[in-house]
Structure 1
Amino acid sequence: MSPISAADIPSLSLLYKLRKLQPPSVAPVAGATPNHNDRIGLIKGDITTLAIDAIVNAANNSLLGGGGVDGAIHRAAGRGLIEECRTLNGCDTGDSKITNAYNLPSKKVIHTVGPIFDAIRPEKSEAKLKSCYKTSLELAARNGIKTIAFSAISTGIYGYPSLDASVAACETVKEFLDGENGSKMEKVVFVTFEEKDVRSYNMTLPRYFPPNSETSTEQKKASKAQEAEAEAKASQLPDVPTADPADQDHAQKKQKQ
């Protein structure tokens, strides 16, 4: 698969205009604005194909590779990545470390260790997960990284509920972009792969990064026009058959016999 540049990853602004992303079904969170929509990207696919400044690896404490996204990144990067990771002496849960990207199309890899979800103390898991996003973004800013992509951290074998994880991610990214180092980041990309993560981000992103009112109005007008067009086309179509066409074919063949 050809590498995908940051410019080729659709922003929320574009996704709203194309009606690929809908306005929030419930009220946006307090303080949510469309101010960052040009700098938030969303794509479903393989994070190892992104030719951007840094991709974030959902690593384990050893940083020596594992399953899922972690294993895919190590395989795509080649032996140089694990050799550098061996010099880092692991990483604490909620913290992040940076390496070169070797055979990957990105320039750097930021390794962050997500929490195993604790259903008894979910607030502890939430704090660690938010720390993954915060430390990754801070590390990126210190290293001159302007485009960064996150997979859905901890939602795989670590068992973090996808919707709750997307809330923690969006809240932390919004806080960073609103903060003093936010202007250093040109694009923050959320990469989804599994359908549960796709649904979760489609629900959560509009609550933290809603469309502007002009875009919402355009969407409503376009939606009404599409409905009218669909109704007009439907009136010209023949009635829906009440029997299965396959059954009718079978009956006709028997009559001929």
Structure 2
Amino acid sequence: MDPLGARCQFVDIQTLPTWQQQLGEGVPLDPLDPLGPGDSLQDFPSPFPFRPDINRKIILFCDDVALLNCTAIVNTSNESLGDKNLVSDSVHRLAGPELKDELVKLKGCRTGEAKLTKGFSLAARFIIHTVGPKYKAKYRTAAESSLFSCYRNTMQLAAEQSMASVGLCVVSTAKRGYPLEDATHIAFRTVRRFLESHGNSLEAVVFAVSDSEESVYRKLLPLYFPRSEEEEKVSLPFIPADIGNTEGEPVVPERQIRIAEKPGTLEDDSEEESLRADLGQVGNHAFARMEGDVDKQRKQILQGQMSEAAILKQHQRNYGRWLCRARAEDLSDVAALKALYQTGVDMCGRTVVVLVGRNIPVTIIDIEKALLYFIHVMDHIAVKEYVMVYFHTLTGEHNHLDADFLKNLHDIVDAKFKKNLKAFYFVHPTFRSKVSTWFFTTFSVSGVKDKVRYLDTLQQLFTCMRPEQVDIPPFVLDYDARVNGPYQRSQS
């Protein structure tokens, strides 16, 4: 004990109530059911079910993270590890001057990384230093991916060092501009997924927040750490469409995709798969049965029995049911196909989504799961303008999509999918595929025909988007070079 009693300010985490013990203290959510009256979410299990064993490890602490007496606390800083912010200033002040000398040896830290030092005069034995991203709306997906890495690498480091407890500050500081609520969603789902898969050795995870941050944390905690089955049900409608992959990693992070050896990420590709898969077979599948209601609605529309507002509401409810299922089900098998993924942006700054026809095994894929995965991924992409690039390169008979199924898909997706799709680039089309697409867009669906652009070469595609902005499968590059000759970059 310091003779001046300095250590009396530190807080033993064993004296703090766990999140499970604080049942009833969360901020009530808006009771409005997004699916409307008469609909129920009880048939859709939550992707974050009630887990009292996990909840007992979670602590919400409204005070300075540097005060925690736990195995390690987290310090948020910049790339040089010399940032001046409320969290970092407090950590340095309580740890003492030795910390600054130690940080010099680390030679900085890249965004998303986590590095370890001793705690020195802190009650915590260690300090985990991490660097959050600078947020810009234009590069939102890259920022999401980096922030996920901060929390994931921090948790991984704690587990590798056999730490019993870790105190997490709010990694994204105000000067870095990351919206607090968006950052909190990423923090919670990343920690939740980590504890589900790798959290056996961790006994406590403390979220340390300021007074201004507490209300957001308390409001969102029930979504990812429901403390009862009732709270799980109440929270389900408010879980975001994008809950990441099985590790909590944001879907289709642009920066990660661009540097990957193979195009797309697990989540991205699976989404496209889902689309393609869904397009394959209809018959007696559950998807066809659900869409039967839509056919009935069409008859009612023709007979003048439904108002335009009622039609729109019914469509939104139907799509809402599919979206809730997409959030809840395990779709990793569809994801492994790697047939759809988000890449960069086109010349107009619009998001580019790639579809790879040859990677769609229409005859063997689970069509319903494929549709769910497509909806899960595309729901958050389609909220703003986007374009699609479809590589028809070397597709076979088993990759061809059923027109009836495509029409059903067109009918079920939300209006934003169609409204915000600005162009559909059809690369390496065949005569047969052009004829089929013409018939489909002319007689089966509306508002799509004028958006289709047939491109025989990659050079034509690169007039719409820069080569570095689109990840192209190697077999597509090889085919184009063989048929059209090597791509010649403009010297202008």
Alpha carbons 2:148, 2:187 under 8 Å: kept = yes
**Aligned mate of 2:169, from 151, 157, 160:** 151
1:64-213 equivalences under 5 Å are 64-179=82-197, 181-195=198-212, 197-213=213-229
Shift of 1:76: 1.3
Alpha carbons 1:10, 1:43 under 8 Å: kept = no
Matched residue of 2:171: which SS?
A: coil
Seen in structure 2, the aligned counterparts of structure 1 residues 63 and 155 have a Cα distance that, compared at 3 Å, is closer
Shift of 1:215: 8.4
Residue range with higher mean Cα deviation, 70-79 or 30-39: 30-39
Alpha-carbon distance in 2 for matches of 1:9, 1:98: 25
Matched residue of 1:120: which SS?
A: helix
| Aligned residue identity for 1:46 | D
The list of structure 1 runs, each at least 4 consecutive aligned residues, that deviate by more than 3 angstroms after superposition, is 22-29, 213-216
**Aligned mate of 1:21, from 22, 26, 46:** 26
Normalised by the size of structure 2, how large is the TM-score?
0.41
**Aligned mate of 2:73, from 30, 42, 55:** 55
Seq. identity, %: 33
Alpha-carbon distance in 2 for matches of 1:131, 1:215: 29
Shift of 1:21: 2.2
Shift of 1:103: 1.0
Seen in structure 2, the aligned counterparts of structure 1 residues 214 and 124 have a Cα distance that, compared at 3 Å, is closer
Query: Which structure is higher in RCO with an 8 Å CA cutoff and minimum separation 6?
Result: 1
Give 5+ residue unaligned stretches, structure 1: 217-257
Residue range with higher mean Cα deviation, 24-33 or 125-134: 24-33
Residue range with higher mean Cα deviation, 28-37 or 59-68: 28-37
Matched residue of 1:112: which SS?
A: strand
Alpha carbons 1:77, 1:103 under 8 Å: kept = yes
Q: CA RMSD in A?
A: 2.0
Normalised by the size of structure 1, how large is the TM-score?
0.77
Alpha-carbon distance in 2 for matches of 1:4, 1:90: 30
Shift of 1:55: 0.4
Alpha-carbon distance in 2 for matches of 1:65, 1:103: 20
Give 5+ residue unaligned stretches, structure 2: 1-7, 32-40, 233-492
Q: Say how many residue pairs are matched.
A: 212
Aligned partner of 1:12 in structure 2 is 19
Alpha carbons 1:96, 1:111 under 8 Å: kept = yes
| Aligned residue identity for 1:187 | A
Alpha-carbon distance in 2 for matches of 1:78, 1:71: 11
Matched residue of 2:218: which SS?
A: helix
Matched residue of 1:173: which SS?
A: helix
Higher gyration radius (CA):
2
Shift of 1:90: 0.6
Matched residue of 1:121: which SS?
A: helix
Seen in structure 2, the aligned counterparts of structure 1 residues 20 and 46 have a Cα distance that, compared at 3 Å, is same
Alpha-carbon distance in 2 for matches of 1:29, 1:165: 21
Shift of 1:99: 0.3
| Aligned residue identity for 2:135 | F
Alpha-carbon distance in 2 for matches of 1:86, 1:29: 45
